[in-house]
Amino acid sequence: MEVFDGAHFVRLRCSVRRRQYLAADDDGRRVCLSGQRGAHNTVWAVEHVAGDVLDAGPGPFVRLRGAYGRYLVATDLQARAGPSHGVTAEQRDATYYPTPPGWAWQAFRRRECFLLRNGTGRYLRANGRYLRWRTAITVAGDNASSMMQWAVEVVPPRLGRPTLIDPPAQVIHLNLSVSFSIARSPYDLLHILAQLIRRRRTPPTEREMTRVVRFVRADVDGEFDETAWSAMRVNTNSLMHLRLTLANRLGQNRDALHTTVCVRAGSYGCLSPLLVDLPIGNDRIDVIVLSHGTPGESMVTIYQ
């Protein structure tokens, strides 16, 4: 677990598929492999769990929080890829306290890499060693497969704050012409064809993105009243649109360039700066607006 000591953020790179990273998929639920290293979706915040985790082995443990504020979780759903005894990995809200075993992770060194062991006793596993179009992430028992080995890359915190004009660096699912133009081998072509079959071929519709957003403005210390939530309906997943709409609703048009919008995924989730567009889907999202330069906002760490 020493690899997580002092680390605020990490990337997890598959040791076999060396250009592929663990990523929070843009539906806000799935977890996948992505070769887009610079996307915020490949960065995971490290939260150290205080004390023991019920029904799990001895600690310490960490929780891993993704770009949408949700946590990397081992579910109890049978996986369709990987070993037959494996289960799927997903992003989920922190709605339970204390931390359940499925939300807790440990790192154990194996050779030059690490195994990520879940509190349920299973291990985080990539797929697609030979069938490169398989990008699903599963959690399975240790069968000595190198697909369970991950390189942990520590991501340094960012000193500055993102502004309204900063484009969100997020996972992009390429269109047909761009996809084939970057293919460098037959394996790349197979991978791209599979992705085009699995992914939507057109941009998401308004129906796929309309949702209720609950919002509240925090004070200078980062505190907010749990009874002061307001709600609005948005019909787009654009982060820029959300920030402008929030500034208008809160009467802070002049501060639109100097606010940090944080998402809280679940009652027991930590505040997570929203640096990417909202996930595709209709589920409700809770956001807290912090002003740049305040003590409360300075406590929210952002990565490079």
Residue 166 lies in a domain: no
Radius of gyration of the chain (CA): 19
Range of the domain at 293: 208-303
Residue bearing tokens 């740049």:
292
- 124 and 8 within one domain: yes
Same domain, 117 and 217: no
Q: Is residue 66 domain-shared with residue 148, that is, in the same domain?
A: yes
Is 123 found in the same domain as 216? no
Say whether both 150 and 218 belong to one domain. no
Residue-level pLDDT at 81 = 81
Whole-model pTM: value is 0.88
Average pLDDT over residues 5-29: 94
Structure tokens at 263: 């998402």
> Given pLDDT bands bounded at 50, 70 and 90, which one contains residue 177?
very low
Flag whether 167 is in a domain: no
Of 285, 91, 280, 302, the C-alpha closest to 171 is 280
Confidence of residue 229 (pLDDT cuts 50, 70, 90): very high
CATH code of the domain covering residue 281? 3.10.20.90
- How many angstroms separate the Cα of 254 from the Cα of each of 136, 222, 243, 259, 287? 43, 20, 12, 10, 19
Q: Which two tokens stand for residue 133?
A: 């179009």
Kindly tell me if the per-residue pLDDT of 187 is higher than 90: no
Site of tokens 């990417």: 276
- On whether the CB atoms of residues 302 and 291 are closer than 8 A, the answer is no
The verdict on residue 91 lying in a domain is: yes
Q: Of the candidates 158, 175, 193, which is a domain's last residue? A: 158
CB 15 within 8 A of CB 150: yes
Q: Give residue 73's pLDDT.
A: 98
What lies within 8 Å, CB to CB, of 72 at 6+ separation is: 22, 31, 44, 63, 64, 65, 66, 89, 91, 103, 105, 124
Q: What is the pLDDT of residue 255?
A: 65
Answer yes or no: is pLDDT of 228 > 80.
yes
Is residue 76 pLDDT above 80, yes or no?
A: yes
Say if 242 falls within a structural domain.
Answer: yes
pLDDT digits (tens, 9 = 90+) for 81-138: 877 789 999 999 999 999 999 999 999 998 889 999 999 999 999 998 887 778 999 9
Q: Give pLDDT, residue 303.
A: 65
Q: End of a domain among 140, 158, 176?
A: 158
Q: Is residue 195 part of a domain?
A: no
- The yes-or-no verdict on residue 223 having pLDDT over 60 is yes
168, part of any domain: no
Question: Does residue 102 share a domain with residue 34?
Answer: yes
pLDDT at 159 over 80: no
Given 122, 137, 158, the domain boundary residue is 158
Confidence class for position 176, pLDDT limits 50, 70, 90: very low
Residue 72's alpha-carbon distances to 10, 83, 132, 166, 239, in angstroms, are 13, 20, 23, 27, 22
Report pLDDT for 175. 46
Is residue 100 located within the same domain as residue 28? yes
Tokens of 56: 């799990």
Whether 174 shows a pLDDT value over 70: the answer reads no
For the stretch 253-297, pLDDT in tens is: 556 677 889 999 999 999 999 999 999 999 999 999 998 888 888
* pLDDT at 181 (0 to 100): 43
Reference 154, options 15, 7, 37, 33; nearest CA is 7
Q: Is residue 192 part of a domain?
A: no
The alpha-helical segments, DSSP class H, found in 159-217 are 176-182, 186-198, 206-209
Residue 27 lies in a domain: yes
Percent of the chain with pLDDT over 90: 59
Query: In this structure, what CATH number is given to the domain that contains residue 117?
Result: 2.80.10.50
Query: Rounded to 5 degrees, what angle do the CA atoms 131, 171, 77 make?
Result: 55
Higher-pLDDT residue of 165 and 151 is 151
Structural domain total, the chain? 2
Indicate whether 191 pLDDT > 70: no
